[in-house]
């Protein structure tokens, strides 16, 4: 999505997806610039990923993980991003959730823009799901026990077909690689 440098790639081997690329960011209602490997899905859908540590790119805008959106245009859309972002070189990570275009958000509007430190160790499981006009996000340290993070209702109606997939951005033009199981 948006302006990214050359050198992006997506591969799959032995149950692991590897996404490489760049991009200035995918956060908030602003223009998105990221690598987005997606599948068009009609109706309810979910994606679960075991996310391995993502390298600190020198910019705190670097992040990776899951996105659902209503179109493939890099400007504002109805979307939900659930990402993992390294703090810096200290090895710590935040999960970050941003939902845009919703009409109701449980927990108040600040819950649609949530960032929280993840307890170590990595890797960590993240899940994003669409049920009707709701988008929900969850975290899990083991892939079996899930904690809800955000829940938003898109009362203006999500289209029947949305795009769900993996995304990665580095906060600039440098490339990085993320792996997802």
Predicted TM-score (pTM) of this structure: 0.87
Judged on CB neighbours under 10 Å (0-12, 13-18, 19+), 60 is middle
Q: Which of 32-46, 90-104, 119-133, 152-166 has the lowest mean pLDDT?
A: 90-104
Q: Which two tokens stand for residue 12?
A: 């799959």
Q: What is the pLDDT of residues 120-157, one digit of tens each?
A: 667 788 899 999 999 998 888 889 999 888 888 998 88
Whether 98 contacts 146, CB under 8 Å: no
Assign 32 a pLDDT band (cuts: 50, 70, 90): confident
For 111, the 3-state DSSP assignment is: helix
CA 171 from chain centre, in angstroms, equals 14
Name which of 52, 12, 81, 9 is nearest 179 in CA terms. Answer: 52
């Amino acid at each position: 999505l948006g302006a990214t440098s050359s050198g992006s790639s997506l591969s799959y081997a032995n149950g692991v997806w590897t996404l490489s690329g760049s991009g200035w960011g995918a956060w908030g209602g602003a223009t998105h610039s990221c690598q987005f490997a997606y599948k068009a899905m009609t109706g309810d859908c979910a994606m679960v990923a075991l996310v391995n540590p993502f390298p600190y790119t020198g910019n705190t805008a670097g992040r990776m993980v899951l996105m659902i959106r209503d179109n493939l245009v890099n400007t504002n859309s109805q979307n939900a991003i659930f990402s993992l972002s390294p703090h810096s070189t200290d090895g710590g990570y935040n999960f970050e959730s941003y939902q845009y275009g919703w009409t109701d958000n449980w927990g108040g509007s600040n819950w649609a823009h949530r960032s929280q430190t993840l307890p170590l160790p990595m890797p960590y499981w993240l899940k994003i799901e669409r049920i009707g006009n709701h988008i929900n996000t969850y975290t899990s340290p083991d892939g079996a026990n899930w904690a809800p993070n955000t829940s938003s209702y898109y009362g203006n109606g999500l289209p029947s077909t949305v795009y769900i997939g993996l995304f990665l951005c580095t906060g600039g033009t440098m490339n990085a690689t993320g792996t997802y199981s």
